[in-house]
Amino acid sequence: MKSYTLAKTLALVICSLVPVTSASQTSDDLNTKLEKRLANYNPGVSNFVEALIRVSSDFQIPMGIAWVKPDGELEKIPFAGKQTTVLEIIESIVKTEPTCRVEVRGGVVHILAPGSVPENQDFLHLRVKNFEVVNGYVDLALLKVHSLISPSKHSGFSVGAEPGESRVAVKLQDSTVADILDALVLKSSRKVWLVTFSTELNPTSAGFRRTLNPWAGFSAVPDAGEPALNLLRWGDKVP
């Protein structure tokens, strides 16, 4: 009995020493980063997506970007600021796309375009009853998300992993696709999720707004590849 009590006590002590990162702590850490004041920041001349991903990488800000790319070439803009906060820099970039807004939620900075895509065509709002990945590579988790949106198109696919690629453990109930992508950027080495919607009103065969591939000149994605879901590491080359 004494040995059992001692073992139980030691287990409790050990558990109390294991650091636990709560959702509130994650949000507090993010707010601290966003409130950081910079004497001078100049990321150079870049387009909307480049600038956001650069800021995310420079200041280690988990980010989710869902926007509708206007037709034509993206404008290159000299984004810079003095005596400004990281959040104010992000907001100044987002202001260059009038349909977009900044929303800070759950430890992730979201750049969204509310109302630009009808909700029934926006797969980011798709609700998922159960989603679980147990110690799986993040690309496999992303493929699982993909299959929720476009079922049965990737049967038989195998997913490899780059050297040093992280594994993730995610378990969510009654969540949206956007919630799942948030969980992946918080729990993996991929820290930015990016979805670029097309202005094309004709939906995919699954009934969703078409997406564009940033790594192919923002070209339209064929139905067999829909949707284009991108998860980036800090420091990754951007389109």
For the stretch 168-226, pLDDT in tens is 999 999 999 999 999 999 999 999 999 999 999 999 989 999 999 998 889 999 888 89
For residues 93-125, b (16+ Cβ closer than 10 Å) or e, as one string? bbeebeebebeeebbbbbbbbeebbeeebbbbe
The domain locations on the chain are: 23-112, 119-232
Token output for 140: 């496999």
Q: What is the pTM of this model?
A: 0.85
For domain 23-112, the CATH architecture is 3-Layer(bab) Sandwich (3.55)
Q: Could you tell me the CA-to-CA distances from 6 to 14, 18, 234 in Å, in that order?
A: 12, 19, 45
CA nearest neighbour of 208 among 143, 120, 128: 120
Residue spans of the chain under pLDDT 50: 1-20, 153-160
User: Got the DSSP string for 171-211?
Assistant: EEEEEEHHHHHHHHHHHSS--EEEEEE-S--S--TTSS--B
